[in-house]
Chain A
Amino acid sequence: MTEWLIVVLLIVGTAFMVTSSVGLVRLPDFYMRMHGPAKAATLGVICVLLAGVVYFTFEQDYFSIREVLAIAFIFITAPVGAHMLTKAARHIGVKFHDQTRIEK
């Protein structure tokens, strides 16, 4: 039972990471590509870490607080990273895709 849960979490997690890499290739401009990795770092990594938590809690009888902490830190750092990169791009004037509607 727990094995299945771990498998599902790992598959979902890696699926999201693959999706975000595909997004990195397919999306046309920098600002749009920024959305991909920021998301992989949230749901993808969190699913994989949760799989780890489940494995250690139920298979090894050891609750690892560090993995929960890692999830918390990813939640704090991921938006800051995405924000700073986009802000920097905006400042040095990276071009937007033609169809981007910009509100002043």
Chain B
Amino acid sequence: MFAYLLINFVLALIWCFLTETFTVTTFVIGNLLATGVLFLSRRLLGEPVFFRKLGVFVKLLVVFTREVLVANVQVAWWILRPRLRVQPAMIRLPIALETDAAITALAGMISLTPGTVTVDVAPDRKSLEVHCLNVPDIAATKAGIKEMFEKPLRELER
């Protein structure tokens, strides 16, 4: 995984040298081209994992962005509607992530999604404490977080 990123950057740098323009745009284009080249030669390099992970990562990014936007509008509506009716809850979300980086990423994504804030990580790192602004159905909220954020993260950490 890391080696791939390094090759990608080096190829992008080479592209900058070839075109003799050292701007952000060239570097970005170089990176895209390098990814394309690596994709074409993926069987030679013998590690197709990278592209599967890249796919998972892009999908996670899209899902996360959509979730942030949707939830933002939702929270705005909860706050602004004439009668304030919220059902707060402190939930304990069991997690099956192993690395610190993945747990941190999950906690960060939960906090960034409006309506949920990570409060604490259990000492045994088996669960997160999450405060939710408005959850009529605790089980559904948990399943949603697990499906949208945790599953892709678990694939990424492998």
Who on chain A is nearest to B84 by CB?
A26
Who on chain A is nearest to B120 by CB?
A87
Who on chain B is nearest to A43 by CB?
B72
A-contacting 9-mer, from B10-18, B35-43, B44-52, B107-115: B107-115
Docked Cα-Cα span, A31 to B120, in Å, equals 13
* Closest CB in chain B relative to A48 CB, distance in Å: 14
B68 adjacent to chain A (CB < 8 Å): yes
* Residues of chain B lying within 8 A (CB to CB) of residue A63: 24
* Interface of chain A: mostly helix, strand, loop or mixed: helix
Considering only residues 46-79 of chain B, those with a C-beta below 8 Å from chain A are: 68-69, 72, 75-76, 79
Who on chain A is nearest to B92 by CB?
A103
* Residues of chain A lying within 8 A (CB to CB) of residue B133: 27, 32, 35
* Closest CB in chain B relative to A24 CB, distance in Å: 9
Contact check, A22 vs B111: say whether CB atoms are below 8 A apart: no
A34 adjacent to chain B (CB < 8 Å): yes
Docked Cα-Cα span, A90 to B114, in Å, equals 19
B3 adjacent to chain A (CB < 8 Å): no
30 intermolecular pairs with C-beta atoms under 8 Å apart: A16-B76, A22-B80, A23-B79, A27-B79, A27-B84, A31-B90, A31-B119, A31-B131, A32-B86, A32-B88, A34-B131, A36-B79, A38-B111, A39-B75, A42-B72, A42-B114, A43-B69, A76-B108, A79-B107, A79-B117, A80-B111, A83-B117, A83-B118, A83-B119, A86-B117, A87-B119, A97-B88, A101-B89, A101-B138, A102-B90
Contact check, B117 vs A34: say whether CB atoms are below 8 A apart: yes
* Interface of chain B: mostly helix, strand, loop or mixed: mixed
Query: Interface residue tally of chain B, by bracket?
Result: 20 to 34
Who on chain A is nearest to B88 by CB?
A100
A19-B75, A35-B114, A42-B112 given. 14 additional CB < 8 A pairs? A16-B72, A20-B79, A26-B84, A38-B114, A42-B68, A76-B108, A78-B112, A79-B109, A80-B111, A83-B111, A86-B131, A87-B119, A96-B90, A101-B87
